[in-house]
Chain A
């Protein structure tokens, strides 16, 4: 038998970053924040952060400006849908990868 260290009889985990694996690898659409439209970025005040509140994976920071952790962002698009300023655009990963190449 290999290492058996966790000792649980069931699939058991404690919540923590990355517990569900690198969910960013599933992403088809990448949210990109347009800082010219984003309220806190524009005014340099801690305001709005609706995207931070709505992201189901908690990967958006409540910072100035807000940033997205693409290792875990799964590309669901909820942030883009909820942003009152339409500041978040969902861009196809394929086109970004092509560009990067």
Chain B
């Protein structure tokens, strides 16, 4: 069924269709309408779930961790400083291998205070052991939330679904609401890998020692390092699992099919722009206009950021002369984290074989600074017309007024 709604409502519909059983969230701009919608669904009994009000984001995630450990499908959502307030529990959820899903409605991080969009909040949680998926429009929000539950539960790793504050959360767009029966066919009921069971008492996530040690049956139980090694192994395996889930989703719902990189006019492109979130769709206009001018350009939207689908990304980009990375986040003191990851993927994949594309890093849109399509066209055109591609620019800033 088609509807015209906001991105936050699209997310709430996804959570409802996925049959989340426990919701705990604390309101924060621009996530608030999402949790309001969920509480409405529960209040009106459209959704059979418990909404547990909490006094902070740290508690919100703690409640979800507890609910998931008790065997319930749990969901939370937040933005910016709220996400950072969860930080300790974010690591915990991953180490405890709980298949939670959280929407991060991307917003810049204070100080100075800002409520507008960039990606610094979720990117700063990159190394916590959560899967991170980024979406470009409303349809992808509702679909990705549903896929996220299936992925999280398949690999026992929590998933963040990240979408742009205001640009997606508060704008209205038409999208198809998947029907409940198809979703039920796609997503089977939650069967937790680790859940409390009074008939089989056990301790979860208790203190480990630097070395392995024998459990009460005399078997070797894993130490900290083994538990963390397995998280890394399963994270890498999650790349293929995400691919299979995407295929299945496409069979049932007839859309999607690009779990890692959503490419647009990249096949013969000499220069490829790369970005995440709604900016990738804005860049499609840029690509079309520059194609009309005769430049062979394309845009690759990174959909899965952790685990990093390095092979798929390198395959998309390796034939290009230049790669232009547009990023709304920064690893202060170096460069954009996505840019560093892309360089690393290109280096690893094409090592010793052939010339690698030059990579041009751009920072833009921090704290909601307007991203003008004209500025993007100029940036891409400048790279296309540069005579020597051997020496990429140093970090470029778009829209900076200093």
Contacts and interface: CB of A to CB of B under 8 A. Distances in A.
Interface in B179-227: 193-194, 201-209, 212-213, 215-217, 219-222, 224, 226-227
B203 A6 contact: no
A8 B222 contact: yes
Interface string B105-149: 000000000000000000000000000000000000000000000
A2 B223 CA distance: 12
**Chain A: interface size category:** 10 to 19
Contacts of B213: 21
Given A10-B96, A10-B194, A11-B222, A16 B209 contact: no
A36 to B, nearest CB: 37
Interface in A1-18: 2-6, 8-18
Given A14-B203, A15-B201, A4 B194 contact: no
Main SS class of interface, A: loop
A99 interface: no
Contacts of A3: 220
Interface string B85-100: 0000000000111000
Interface residues of B, number: 30
A90 B204 CA distance: 33
A9 B221 CA distance: 10
A2 B203 contact: no
14 contacts: A4-B226, A5-B220, A6-B221, A8-B222, A9-B97, A9-B156, A9-B231, A9-B234, A11-B224, A12-B194, A13-B203, A14-B203, A15-B201, A19-B203
Interface of B: 95-97, 156, 193-194, 201-209, 212-213, 215-217, 219-222, 224, 226-227, 230-231, 234
Interface of A: 2-6, 8-21
